[in-house]
Amino acid sequence: MRRLACLLVLAGSSGCSSTPDEGAILTFQTPAGELTATRVEVVLANAQAESIAEIDNQRRQPGSLASDGVRYYRQRARGGVIDGTKTVGGFELRIEPDLGASTDETFIPFAFLYDGERLIGVGSVVGPTGEPAAVEIKPGVITAYDVVVTAVHDVADEDALDAGGARVVTCSTRDQTAWRSGYAWSTATHELRLLLPDTGTDPTASDATERAADLDCDAHAADENDCDDVRGRYFLGAAESCDGLDTNCDGQRYQATGCTQSDVVCNIVGGQNGVQICDDDAGTLGACTPTAGCACSSATGGGGCARCQVVFTGATASKAACSPSVGKLHLESCPPNGCTVELAGATNGWKGYVGPMESGPFSTKLTGAPGYFYLEAKRTGTLAQTQLPVGEIYLLVTNDQGTYTLPVQMDMYATDACPLLVPGGSSSRMICSP
C-alpha cells in the first residue's frame, strides 16, 4: 500500500500528526507524460473571490505592444515541502487541518515541482471550466482530489513567457536580502501568477492576501500602472529604452527623444537640435534629424517642417490652448494610393492625432492621405503668453520613397476667445504652414 506523505497547513515540514481520516488527499496525475521530481512544494492560495484578480494590461510577448489578461492568486497558507526523488504520477499526499493557525477550510492548492533548482512542473485541481479549483481541508472530514500536473520550462528574465513557460520571481529588500515574491506560469489559454508573502520583511510570513499585485516588487502594481509585472524596470514613467518592450508602459509605438546634430547649426538658444524616433514595436532608434525648432529656423532655410499657429485664450499672463484645435497640413510626393501619416511623439504636454477631414475621424495613424491631412492638437494646462514656440509634434510620413519625419512647430496666437472651427462645432481652427 502506498504511504501518504502528510503536510500540515502553515507548517514547513512534512509528517502526519492527526487522524488519517481528516484533511484533503491530493493524488497527482500527469496526463501528458511522467515526471520525476526531487522536490515538491505545495502552496495554499486564498479561495475567496475578492482575493483573485483579473488584470488585462500585461505584456506577454516582448516586441509587441499587445496586452493580455492574467490572473493573480495570493498565498493564504503553506502546504509544505517534500524532498526526495519521486515519480510524480500517482503520488499522493494528505494536507492536514490546523485550525489553530488558520480558520479557513477552503483553499486553492498549487504544487510546484523541481528537478534540482529547475522548475519542471505546475499542478492544481482542475475545475469544470478548466481553471484551478478549491479543496476543503476540514477537521474530522476526509476529502480527495486529483491534481493535474503540467510540465513547464524555465524562462529567463528577458524572455517571453510563452505557453508552457514558467519562472520564479525573486525580489530584494533594502538590505539586498533576496526573497521569493511568487510564480508566473503560462497555460495553453491563460497566464497565472501566484503572490507569495513578503518574507524579506517577515521571514515567518505565510499569508499574501493583503499584498498588492506587485510581483516584481518595483512599487508599481500591475492593476495600476505596471504593464510588465515580472520585470522590475518596466512601469509607467520609466525611461523608454526602445528595446521593443515598451519600457515606460505608455502603450505608444513611437516616441521622440532628443539628440544633438554636431554638423547642423540652428537658431536655437540652448537645448538639443535633433530628435530621434524610437519605434518601440521593432525596438529600433531612428537617425538623428532636426527638431521642429531647428528645421523651421532661418539657418536651415525653413524647409522640412510645418508651423501651426494655435489659438490660446485666457488672462494676459496665463493662457490655455483652445482644445482641440484642428489645422490642415500639406504633403509632397504622395503616390496614387496616398501617403501614410502616423504620430511619432510630442513635447511640452501636447497630444496629436491625424484625420482625413476637418471633422475627423482622428486617430494616431492615417492611411491613404492624398497630399494633405488634418492635424488635431490637444493640450491641457496654461502657459505664459509668449512669441516663442510652445511645443512640437512629430509625424512619420511614408510614401513611395520611404519614411521621413515631419516636425511640426506649435506657436501661440493669443486672443480673447476660442473661435469655433464650424458653427456649433467643438474644435478651434489653427493655421498651419506650409
Burial class (CB in 10 A: 0-12, 13-18, 19+), 314: middle
Quote the pLDDT of residue 357.
94
Where is the domain boundary, 195, 226, 241?
195
Which residue bears the cell 505596471? 226
Same domain, 190 and 304: no
158 pLDDT band (50/70/90 cuts)?
A: low
In a domain, 18, yes or no: yes
Q: What pLDDT digit, counting tens, does each position of 185-236 carry?
A: 988 778 999 999 998 888 889 999 999 999 988 899 999 888 888 888 778 8
Same domain, 417 and 316: yes
Asked whether the bond before 324 is cis by omega within 30 degrees of 0, the reply is yes
In a domain, 388, yes or no: yes
Domain that holds residue 317: 274-433
Q: What pLDDT digit, counting tens, does each position of 283-297 carry?
A: 888 889 888 988 887
2 pLDDT band (50/70/90 cuts)?
A: very low
The mean pLDDT value for 333-353 works out to 94
Tell me: pLDDT of 114 over 90.
yes
In a domain, 47, yes or no: yes
Provide the grid cell at 148.
Answer: 493535474
Amino acid at the residue 224: E
Where is the domain boundary, 195, 213, 244?
195
Tell me: pLDDT of 302 over 90.
no
Burial class (CB in 10 A: 0-12, 13-18, 19+), 239: exposed
In a domain, 250, yes or no: no
Quote the pLDDT of residue 69.
84
Quote the pLDDT of residue 11.
38
Same domain, 15 and 151: yes
Same domain, 64 and 175: yes
In a domain, 362, yes or no: yes
Amino acid at the residue 69: G
Quote the pLDDT of residue 12.
38
Q: Are 119 and 168 in contact, with CB atoms under 8 Å apart?
A: yes
173 pLDDT band (50/70/90 cuts)?
A: low
The mean pLDDT value for 120-143 works out to 93
Q: Are 353 and 376 in contact, with CB atoms under 8 Å apart?
A: yes
Q: Are 115 and 38 in contact, with CB atoms under 8 Å apart?
A: yes
Please tell me the pTM assigned to this model: 0.72
Same domain, 145 and 284: no
Quote the pLDDT of residue 269.
57
174 pLDDT band (50/70/90 cuts)?
A: low
Same domain, 13 and 153: yes
Q: What pLDDT digit, counting tens, does each position of 45-94 carry?
A: 999 999 999 998 887 655 456 677 899 999 999 888 999 998 999 999 99
In a domain, 349, yes or no: yes
**Residue 343 parent element (H or E):** strand 339-346
Q: How many domains does the chain have?
A: 2
Provide the grid cell at 375.
Answer: 492635424
In a domain, 253, yes or no: no
Q: Which residues, including other chains, have CB under 8 Å from residue 345's CB and lie 6 or more apart?
A: 252, 254, 255, 256, 257, 275, 277, 393, 394
- Comparing C-alpha atoms, which of 244, 212, 241, 242 is closest to residue 229? 212
Q: Are strands 142-151 and 118-124 parallel, antiparallel or unpaired?
A: antiparallel
Tell me: pLDDT of 150 over 90.
yes
Same domain, 146 and 31: yes
Same domain, 298 and 386: yes
349 vs 326: CA distance, rounded Å: 17
Same domain, 191 and 44: yes
13 pLDDT band (50/70/90 cuts)?
A: very low
Where is the domain boundary, 164, 195, 226?
195
Quote the pLDDT of residue 6.
65
In a domain, 101, yes or no: yes
Same domain, 101 and 14: yes
Same domain, 29 and 175: yes
Query: Which of 76-80, 307-311, 405-409 has the weakest average pLDDT?
Result: 76-80
The mean pLDDT value for 23-38 works out to 94
The mean pLDDT value for 352-356 works out to 96
